[in-house]
Structure 1
Amino acid sequence: MNNNDRVLSIPLKKTDPVELYQPLRNLVASKYSEGDAQKVESVLETLNKCRRDMVERRADLSLPMQRDCLLHYFKCLSMVAKLFTSLSSDADPILFVWYDAFNPDHQDGVSSQRSAIQLEKAAVVFNLGAIYSQIAASCDRTTALGRHLAMEAFKVAANFFRQLWQVFAKDVVATLDLTLVFAEFLHLLFSAQASELELREELNNNDASYALQQHRCALSFISVYELYSRAYELIPTDSAARKHVDSFDQTWVTHLYQKATFFEAEARQRQSSILPKSKRPKFSSVTSCALDHDAECVPEILVRGICCGVRKVLYEERKQTYIDLNLSEYNPFKMMKYGKLVAYPWDMPPPYPTDLAILSSSLVSLSSDILAFIPLKKSEPLNLYESLRSYFVLKYSESVAERVDGLLEMLHKLRNEMLRDDLSLPLRRDCLMRYYKCLCMIEPFFPMNASPNPPIFVWYNAINPQQHSSQHNIHLEKASVLFNLAAICTHIALSCDLTTVQGRRLAMDAKKDASHWFYLMSMFESRKASGTIDVSRHYFHVLDFQLHEMELMFLVPRPDEPSLSGYPVSAYYPSTSGPPLAYDPSSDVTQQFVLGYSNAHSLLQRVCRAAPCLDLLSEVSPVKIKDGNLVANAATLEAPNLALENLSF
């Protein structure tokens, strides 16, 4: 295609500083108690630091670090949102002042209404879309990997502006860049740019028949034309929007007109290639291009592996955020004993210490008959690094192997860690999840038929250790890892202190997590893994029945909504010993904060789920993309050992 290769990105909105910690802490202390204020002060401190970094450190931060700061701030902001509705008329107001992103002179800044947080959240969502647009525009689109990352980043930018348009900008009196028309325009613009990059990839797709490829391309040209056309038509029809665009860059309208005209002509030319319904394949939607097995594309193949595998499996809708809040070493928000919340700065490298007080080893013996049902699978050690590296050297070259050396190093490290019996249950769970992501990345290279020394995975039957399976099948490895993830979650569930509501809630979420991993093992890996019977689809039904029986142990009656505090079960459970506690969930500040976090986490998961590969740009990712190479993050290589040293059992 010979049309203009220029892509549009937008600047971030700027804001005036504001002090949040002390006013919000005073509010919590007055509305709840000083003890409650101490429970959440860590979140308030992190909220204040994030906002200060947005204002004062922006020039010092890379684009991915700015993204991480904004994501962390949005979660903190969602946790405290309900506090703003509690500000009394005689309290000092908290005012947020934001300026138009396209007005460099900072004229006509808009202030929020008294005690209103809508403007702040809308502005942060705008900036999240803007930073993703800048990440996309900064990618080297002359390489396959750069085009792929740019495409994914534009998709996420479009998703954020869709949220702004449909949710956050409503009823907000703000500058022109936050109007509904402009939010819809930006959603369409970045959707069009993402679709155009996807179309460019599709034109190089050789994994389908000629007729199918032409059919897909014709549909794609029509889709891209419609997006550019709708974006272009929004501006001239709205006088304020047209005046606004002309004030910062008059070439935008011309650019959109040229794009719409070009793709309209191409779409008309290719309409004859659209197959009739009777000849269309079952799945005819446009997909990313095929994996080109040449030296230039090796990092891209690995990155797309995480897109295909992780998007399908780990980014499935998971509502069990409570287990992560309590136990994950890498979650920067933690729920401690008696409802204390701990939040770590967005730029603090993992691991974060975990308080295991919610787990009670004494209960394991009470449930040993159930615990014995789902032991962990055992595996033989394997030098995965040497085996995979020699494959890349032989199949491609030494330079290609060097480009992915960091991933191979992390893969080997994580496999060794997941087999350690001295790790705590939360540590092993984190390690298994990270190892599974790395397996998704290398899956496209299996089977390694060209390797003289392919990796052989040996796994023993968890139920009958005398049986084992030994084969060069990555799906056996993946199925076994998912099995162990589920088994670990059952061990966590059965280790919880069931005398508290917090312990029962954690146990219930751990049980649901176990069901989630067993289901994914059955759906995505078992059908391709001819291993021991414990990872077969047939055995999944046996395990699922056992998990259902286990669930009866953890049920917590819910008068309104479940408590996320550490109050005794007698607060809800009249049948337990001790007088029932009078408890109103709305009076629990920890409950309110965690519900806000859960809502924000779910929203961000939906918006960003299309592009898990962009996490590889983060400074805290165990494997990072740097200059087109995959490098290991040294800080996370030693994380399990550091966390183990700090644990108090």
Structure 2
Amino acid sequence: MIPLGLKETKEVSFMEPFSDFILEHYSEDSNVYEDAIADITDTRQAAKTPTRDGQGVALLFRYYNLLYYVERRFFPPDRSLGVYFEWYDSLTGVPSCQRTVAFEKACILFNLAAIYTQIGARQDRSSEKGLDAAVDNFLRAAGVFKHIYDTFTNAPSMDLKPQVLEVLVALMLAQARECLYEKLLLQLEEMTNVDCSSLHRNLSGEATQLTREYQEIHRIIQSNEAHTYLPECWAGLVPLKSEHYRALAHYHTAKSIDAALHSFKATSTPSKGKPQPKGFGGSTQTLTRDTFIYDESSLEGDLNPAMLK
């Protein structure tokens, strides 16, 4: 599975610009709000290096919600407070700096999605519980990336560009489907002495869909400038996964047919004491292993069907 690294940022102090704005715009004593401003600053400082677990997710959500109120009260569109948010691209390491809270919110959301990918990638996929958790986290990551894609425009950094976000959304959805495929494999391992043809058909269908999804991801990567910024290993791993699941689709299709044939033979074998089916002449007919069944209309005209037996 492919997890994502987090964006890094420099420290920002809200105390002086917010205090001045409270005094000038609201005509109130800013000392009353020092603790609240310090809490916002401390929360952002903690959000720089969140833990890669549920607590880190909760911290980023808390800071993101704080930004909603901060933007409404301290960042008027016609005035600059002199607060600049500088973040480093998670893919290239190139710094980008903007004074808009929208950029800060997009970066926080990106890190939130990245944590989801890391949580999902480290789940124990040998158990059904671990696979369910992995699916949940990869889908959450895809949802957050899609939200950034839909709401954030004019991205200054490459990892927030629409063409990159499109790849990330598709990649997370594909990895979630991989976990569903592996969950079906667990069910297959638990089935013994039963007809597995239907489960193999489902596995073949999932593998076929994964082949198509990874083919589409590879097409997206190659069709725009995203391939120049994404890690080189992705460019090789994505088409490799496509071919891998193509082979698995053929494998499970063959296993499905084989299981169905075994099931058919088991149910069609006559029991002892029961009469054998008779042919047109009333005599018992037996199909031997070398019996050849053909359709004469599908054969070439110059071929003798008897020669094919």
Provide TM-score, normalisation by structure 2: 0.70
Q: CA deviation at 1:51?
A: 0.9
Residue 181 (structure 1) aligns with: 163
The alignment yields a C-alpha RMSD, in angstroms, of: 3.2
For 2:164 and 2:74, locate their aligned partners in 1 and report how far apart those are by CA, in whole Å: 27
Retained in 1: the 8 A contact 2:200–2:253? no
Q: For 2:6, what is the secondary structure of its paired residue? A: coil
Q: Check conservation: 2:75, 2:81, Cα contact below 8 A.
A: no
Distance in 2 (CA, whole Å) between partners of 1:225 and 1:267 is 9
Partner deviation per Cα, 1:159-194 (whole Å, 9 max, x = no partner): 1111122223x222x121111111111111111111
> Does residue 1:94 correspond to 2:83, yes or no?
yes
**What does residue 171 of structure 1 align with?**
154
After TM superposition, give the deviation of residue 111 of structure 1 in Å: 0.8
Matched, 1:82 2:72: yes
Q: Is the 8 A contact 1:97 1:110 kept in 2?
A: yes
Take 1:117 and 1:252, find their aligned partners in 2: how far apart are those partners? 31
Which residue does 1:488 correspond to in 2? none
1:232 to 2:218 alignment: yes
Q: Deviations over 1:15-37 (max 9, x none)?
A: 11111244235434543452899
User: How far apart in 1 are the matches of 2:23 and 2:178?
Assistant: 53
- Mapping 1:43-192, distance limit 5 Å: 44-55=37-48, 57-58=49-50, 61=51, 63-83=53-73, 85-86=75-76, 88-89=78-79, 91-103=80-92, 106=93, 108-112=94-98, 114=99, 116-168=100-152, 170-172=153-155, 174-192=156-174
Contact 1:27–1:83 (CA<8 Å) still a contact in 2? Answer: no
More RCO (CA 8 Å, sep 6+)? 1
User: Using the alignment, how far apart are the partners of 1:130 and 1:160 within structure 2?
Assistant: 9
Judged with a 3 Å threshold, the aligned counterparts in structure 2 of structure 1 residues 71 and 153 are, in CA distance, closer, same or farther, namely same
Q: 2:239 aligns with which of 234, 247, 257?
A: 257
Cα distance in 1 for residues equivalent to 2:105 and 2:204: 39
Q: Distance in 1 between matches of 2:19 and 2:217?
A: 44
Alpha-carbon separation, structure 2, partners of 1:167 and 1:87: 18
Amino acid at match of 1:171: N
- Partners of 1:136 and 1:153 within 8 A in 2: yes
AA at the equivalent of 2:95: G
Instruction: Give the whole-Å Cα distance in 2 for the aligned partners of 1:83 and 1:126.
Output: 24
- The Cα shift of 1:210 comes to 4.8
Please give the residue correspondences for 1:109-508 in structure 2 after superposition, counting only pairs within 5 Å. 109-112=95-98, 114=99, 116-168=100-152, 170-172=153-155, 174-205=156-187, 210=196, 213-238=199-224, 240-245=225-230, 249-267=231-249
1:140 is matched by which residue type in structure 2?
Answer: D
Deviation of 1:229 (Å): 1.8
Q: 1:218 to 1:35 in 2, by over 3 A?
A: farther
- Given that 1:27 and 1:87 are in contact with CA atoms closer than 8 Å, whether structure 2 keeps it comes out as no
Q: State the Cα deviation string for residues 320-358 of structure 1 (Å, max 9, x = none).
A: xxxxxxxxxxxxxxxxxxxxxxxxxxxxxxxxxxxxxxx
Which amino acid in 2 is paired with 1:50? T
- The residue number in structure 2 matching 1:19 is 13
Q: 1:256 to 1:98 in 2, by over 3 A?
A: same
- Alpha carbons of structure 1 residues 269 and 146: separation in structure 2 relative to 1, 3 Å: closer
Shift of the 140–27 alpha-carbon distance from structure 1 to 2, 3 Å rule, reads same
Size of the aligned set, in residue pairs, is: 252
Kindly indicate which of the two structures has a greater share of residues assigned to helix: 2
* Matched ranges for 1:601-640 at <5 A: none
- Residues 210, 27 of structure 1: CA spacing in aligned structure 2 closer, same or farther, 3 A cutoff? farther
Residue aligned with 2:163, SS: helix
**1:234 offset after TM fit, Å?**
1.4
**Counterpart Cα distance in 1 of 2:170 and 2:62:** 26
Q: Is the 8 A contact 1:84 1:117 kept in 2?
A: no
Q: CA deviation at 1:66?
A: 2.4
What letter is aligned with 2:41?
N
Residues of 1 paired with 2:31 and 2:172: CA distance?
Answer: 42
Q: Tell me the TM-score normalized by structure 1.
A: 0.35
Deviations 1:348-393 (A, max 9, x none): xxxxxxxxxxxxxxxxxxxxxxxxxxxxxxxxxxxxxxxxxxxxxx
Gaps (5+ residues) in structure 1?
Answer: 1-6, 275-649
Task: Please say if residues 140 and 146 of structure 1, whose CA atoms lie closer than 8 Å, have aligned partners that are also in contact.
Answer: yes
1:98–1:157 CA distance, 2 compared to 1 (3 A): same
Q: Is the 8 A contact 2:19 2:30 kept in 1?
A: no
Query: Aligned partners of 2:200 and 2:241: how far apart in 1?
Result: 21
SS in 2 for 1:204: helix
Q: Secondary structure at the match of 2:223?
A: coil
Match of 2:28 in 1: 34
Amino acid corresponding to residue 133 of structure 1 in structure 2: T
| C-alpha distance in 1 between matches for 2:214 and 2:20 | 50
Alpha carbons of structure 1 residues 251 and 33: separation in structure 2 relative to 1, 3 Å: same
Q: Deviations over 1:67-92 (max 9, x none)?
A: 22212111111222223541654x54
In structure 2, list runs of 5 or more residues that go unmatched: 257-309
Identity over aligned pairs, percent: 23
Contact 1:46/1:76 (<8 A) preserved: no
| Contact kept in structure 1, 2:142 and 2:170, CA below 8 Å | yes
**Are the aligned partners of 1:202 and 1:217 in contact in 2 as well (CA < 8 Å)?**
yes
For the 8 Å contact 1:218–1:273, the answer to whether it is kept is: no
